[in-house]
Each structure stands twice: as C-alpha cells, then as structure tokens.
Amino acid sequence: MYRHFGEVDAAGTSPLYERVAVALSESDEALRAIEAAPARKRSPTVILAALHDLALAGRAPALAAAYAAADGDAAAGAAIDTLLRMTDSVVAVAVRRQPRTNETGRCAVLYPAIAEAARRVGANAVGLIDVGCSAGLNLNVDRVGITYSNGQSLGDPSSPVRMSSSIVGDRPIPTRAMPEVVARVGVDLDPVDVTDADDARWLRACLWPDQLERIARLEAEMALAATAPPLLLRGDAVEVLPDAFARVPADALPVVTTTWALSRFPLESRQRFLHRLDEAAAGRAVAWVSAEGVGVAPTIPTLGDRRASGHSIIGLAVSDRSALRAEAIGRCWSQGRLLAWLADS
C-alpha cells in the first residue's frame, strides 16, 4: 500500500511523499509501528498527515526541517525516526482525526448550481447547508473569485481566494449571481473549526508539504472563513438536518450541498437523507445541489453514464412544496477542476 502510494499516487505530484512513502514501505520496523494503529487508520494519507501534524506542532523538528528544505532523503529518514520514536503519538493523532481534503474546485461547481436553484424558485436569499463539510470552506462559495477557461467569471473578483476550472464542451456556464447568503451551516460527524489552532493545523497537515500552491490557497481560505465562521453542527447528517433547516430564515431558500460525501453513507442512509428533504419541503421550498460519483446520489439521473467512469454528476433537486424534481445539470472531473454544464439556462 505504501509503495503504491509513493510510486503511483505521489509520483510526479509530491517528490517528498514519493520518497517518504517508498522508504516506509522498505522499513520493516516502520511497518510494524504503523500496525500499532487500528487497521482503518494505517493508510498513507492518515499516517503521513499524522507525522506532518507532529512536525507542524514542533514535536518533530528534524522532520519539519526536512520538509521545509524539500529534502526527500532527509525527510524519509526523519519520518522513519519520528514514527519509531513517537509511535504512540502518531497513532493517537491518526485515531483522533479524519483525513481532510478541501479542494477549492468544488466552489466552481457549486456557485452556478446554487444560483440556478435560486432562479428556479425565485429566491432572493439562500441559506447554505453543507453536508460532510469538514471545515465549512465550501460555505464561502459566494465570497471567492472563480474564473473559467472560456473567460467567464463568477463570485467576488476582489476576493483573496481565487480558483479556476476548465470548461469541457461548448456550453457556457450561467453567469447569474448567487443571491444573498443569510445562513451558513455545516454538518459533519467531526467538524473542523478553522478558528481553533489544533484544527487549523490538522487541515495544514493533510496537505502534502511540498505542494506550496495548495498550502497558500488553504491559508487564504482559512483566513477568509475565520472572518465569518460558519455554524458547525456535529452529528449524523440525517439526524442533524432538521436542526440545520431550522437555522435558515423562513424567507430564504435552504440549499443543501453534498460534494463527494454521500458515497460514505450506506444506501439506507441516503434514502433517509432524501426523506429529510421531503419533510423540510412540506413547509417551504428546498433545494439540493450534489456533486457525486455516477449513481451515488439517489434520484439524480445518471445520463446513461457508467459507474466508476472517472467523472461525477452535478445534480440539482428542487421541491417547492411538491414532489422533488431532480435533474442532472452537468458533469465534472477532478473535483471540479474540469466542468461540463448541461442544463438549459
């Protein structure tokens, strides 16, 4: 697993992690130390993030120095040494934390889809409810600047957070602006608060240390989120959703967003998730914007695409005190870095 991570996943993307992962795979002592963690916590993404967290916290200075110098050989040696000397600490971090990825490309998908949901029900304000939100960074979708490869742009052009997406096909993205966002609610089993030093450090630790552009982007995103922290609700999404809906003012459209989150739900929970949407729609209009693998989001058409085809379906479901009307409005790849818009504007 560690050799594959180094030679395939990290190859050409992170020379540091390529070298570290392969070194770990070749060390019997390191592998035995990793086995001290529960089986579900032994993956490279978790263990490497735990090691990185200790480095960022100042508890593994040699590893921190090797990462800062982008010295793969030194990092490999320091990672093994840290793992052997601090096995209990590495395992403790791995057990307590979940790996987090907060790719900004998601906003490039979410912005036009949320604006389209508001248009369809004539909403002048929306309340965002992000399921599986991690640190709630997607809840700032209206506060970032987005540019597309065809020259279109959305969001705040003066934002310190910039992102981009390449358009696939010849259909343009709708350029209408999102209405005012009056509520930002994140729902997660283990939400991350960017205003908490330990939580913020963990987000940094989940990034690969030599991916400087991603690190800079995350810092900008966290700084932006900290200026107006969202409300984070801890718990199972199906159980917490009614409370989340109650936090959205009555005159605003609640828009639930799921981005590559439902695949972690059992099928029965996905059906209960839909039931929660139906319950909320009994008293007001609600919308659900999804970006999930083909066939993962219930009721969202698959367009005849095959499962595990390498792309995701962008879905929009709207209920205006009636049956949920679900549509596939686009396809995307690489978590929003490439986007094909399909819906009629």
pLDDT at 321: 74
Contact yes or no for 231/135 (Cβ under 8 A):
no
* Spatial distance between the Cα atoms of 303 and 264, rounded to a whole number of angstroms: 22
Low-confidence ranges of the chain (pLDDT < 70): 101-105, 345
Q: What is the 3-state secondary structure (H, E, C) of the chain?
A: CHHHHHHHHCCCCCHHHHHHHHHHHCCHHHHHHHCCCCHHHCCHHHHHHHHHHHHHCCCCHHHHHHHHCCCHHHHHHHHHHHHHHCHHHHHHHHHHCCCCCCCCHHHHHHHHHHHHHHHHHCCCEEEEEEECCCCCHHHHHHHCEEEECCCCEEECCCCCCEEEEEECCCCCCCCCCCCEEEEEEEEECCCCCCCCHHHHHHHHHCCCCCCHHHHHHHHHHHHHHHCCCCEEEECCHHHHHHHHHHCCCCCCEEEEEEECCHHHCCHHHHHHHHHHHHHHHCCCEEEEEEEEECCCCCCCCCCCCCCCCCCEEEEEEEEECCCCEEEEEEEEEHHHCEEEECCCC
Closest to 292 measured CA to CA, from 317, 260, 315: 260
Tokens of 212: 């400087």
pLDDT value, residue 308: 76
Task: Tell me the per-residue pLDDT of 125-160, one tens digit each, with 9 for 90 and over.
Answer: 999 999 987 778 899 999 999 999 999 999 999 999
Model pLDDT, residue 345: 64
What is the pLDDT at residue 223? 93
Global pTM?
Answer: 0.90
With a CB cutoff of 8 Å and minimum separation 6, the contacts of 68 are 209
Residue from 157, 178, 106, 119 nearest 339 by CA: 106
Q: What is the pLDDT of residue 94?
A: 97
| Kind of pairing between the strands at 312-320 and 338-341 | unpaired
- pLDDT at residue 190 in the model: 87
